[in-house]
Each structure stands twice: as structure tokens, then as C-alpha cells.
Amino acid sequence: MDTFIDERDYKLLEADKYTFFVLKRIMGGDCKFLLSDHEKLIICFTGHPFPVWIWTPEDASKDDMAKAYRILKENGFLSGEHRFNVKYALAEFLMKMAAEEGNKMAISTNMFAYDCLNPVEPERKAEGGIYCCESKDIEEVAVFSDMFHKELGIDQKDEQGYREDAEAFINSGNMYLWKDEQGNSVASCMYATTEDMASVSLVFTRPEFRRKHYAENLVYQVTMKAKEEGYIPMLYTDADYEASNACYEKIGYVLRGKLCTIG
């Protein structure tokens, strides 16, 4: 196993460009742990509080998956402190191996990956409008990020961590809020780009402003901005949140892949 990635790895991920979009984006950056055999296995971990990404091909054998389990165990990833984003076949194998050793692993999140080649304008318009965030909005964006991650119960950081993220989001020029007619910031959405794709995320509506179609209209407009800039919009969702998935599908998002988080 090598501690670097190259064009072979990027080529492998082309077959899973939606489900492993984030892996493709992060594995070329500053990673705490990165291993690849450039053929059957890529393991990438950026650091807490994020999950470990593990890529395996659709035809991965039991030997391939056993190799992944062995590497995780040898490097201390099976201590119970980590989560893993993987395909379902590998998830089942890892859970089975853990059980045989007297440990328990379980699926915590079922994820869908969508893209949106043909956005559909929402039937119901929301009052107010889209707002592109500026440097003066760092604190407000940090609050939205905090609320978003707390509600999902994943990837939670401290106040400074959210503030640093907010600054990076705003500096990208792709961080947006929806403001109602009174000027209240009621919903958030952003996108990050890698090659020809734009990953839409941080979709959150303040609880007291929900059921007014703010997020639906905001995501549509952010999707259009990404598409007009030449990117393919995509996003991840919790597969068990039927209402939000239905919302995305109404504005043109199409299911392209599935994976899960286990821990």
C-alpha cells in the first residue's frame, strides 16, 4: 500500500464519481491518513470529527475487504472512535468481522447521492430572496453550520472550527442565505467544486421558519448558479429523510448512488 495517490486513483473513482465525490475532493489535500493500492482499495481520513472514507470496487472480493479490515485494525481505527463511509457490501463485511471479534458495528446513516442535470423551478415561491454571504456574515454562517451539524449529529466542531469553516465558505464566493421579507436569515446553502462537479451542502432552515419553502427555493437557485457556471450540481442526503429527498427530487435531482456510514 502506498501513502500517496495518483492518476490511477482518480480514474478508479470515475465509476463512483457521485457516491465518492467527497473522497475525490479530500484525498488530494492535507490528510491525516491515506493509503492506496491504486487498484482495489483507497482509505482516506482527514481527521476528527470526520469519517474515514474507504473506496472498494463493485467486484471487491472477500480478500479485498479482509485487507481493508486488517489495515483499519492495525492502524487503530476500530477503537470505537471512528465512523466509516463505505459501500454496503463492505459495510456488511466489516460489521460481520467486528461481531466475530466480540465488537459491534452498525449503520448509522444511509446516504443517497443525487445529481441535477435539469433543474426544475419550484412550483411554490418563497417570500424574500437569495443572498450571497460576505465577510461580515462569518458569525451568522458559523451559527448556521453549528445548527446544521447539531441537528444531524455528525461532524460537530467547536465554535472556532465553525468560524474557520464559515470564513472559507464565504471566501469561496459560493455561500448563500435566504432572507425573508423582514430581512431574517432563514435558510442556508452552499456548494464546493471539484473538477466539473459542484457539491451542494449545508442545506438548513431554522426550525421556526420551516414549511415555507425557503430551502426548496434556495437550493434551486444555488443549483442554477452552479449549473450556469458549468458545473454538474450534486448532493448527499440522509436516505431516511423522505421529506427532504422528495423536495430535492421536485427540483430535478436524480438518484445516482447509495452508500452508508457505519460505526
Supply the CATH number for residue 249's domain: 3.40.630.30
| Any domain includes 159 | yes
In one letter, which amino acid is 237? T
89, 145: one domain:
no
Nearest to 204 by CA among 231, 177, 232: 177
Whether 214 and 150 map to the same domain: the answer is yes
Q: State the residue range of the domain holding 140.
A: 129-262
Task: Examine the pLDDT at 23 and tell me if it is beyond 80.
Answer: yes
DSSP per-residue string spanning 15-57: GGTTTTHHHHHHTTS--SEEEE-SSS-EEEE--TTSPEEEE--
Average pLDDT over the chain, rounded to whole?
A: 94
**Looking at the structure, do residues 133 and 235 belong to the same domain, yes or no?**
yes
Distances (CA, A) of 156 to 53, 142, 159, 232, 233: 17, 12, 10, 28, 25
35 lies in a domain?
Answer: yes
Q: Which three cell numbers stand for residue 241?
A: 429523510
Q: For residue range 124-176, what is the model confidence (pLDDT) as tens digits?
A: 999 999 999 999 999 999 999 999 988 877 777 888 989 999 999 999 999 99
- Which of 206, 142, 196 shows the shortest CA–CA distance to 169? 142
Cβ contact 204:235 at 8 Å: no
User: Is residue 190 one of the residues assigned to a domain?
Assistant: yes
Closest CA to 232 of 120, 118, 112: 118
Indicate whether 21 and 84 sit together in one domain: yes
User: Are 254 and 197 found together in one domain?
Assistant: yes
Question: Where among 105, 140, 156 does a domain terminate?
Answer: 105
Structural domain includes residue 56:
yes
Q: How many domains does the chain have?
A: 2
User: Is the domain of 155 the same as that of 252?
Assistant: yes
pLDDT digit string, tens, across residues 213-258: 999 999 999 999 999 999 999 999 998 888 888 999 999 999 999 9
Q: In what order do the strands lie in the sheet with 33-36?
A: 33-36, 42-45, 52-55, 84-86, 254-262, 107-115, 232-238, 197-205, 185-194, 175-179, 129-132
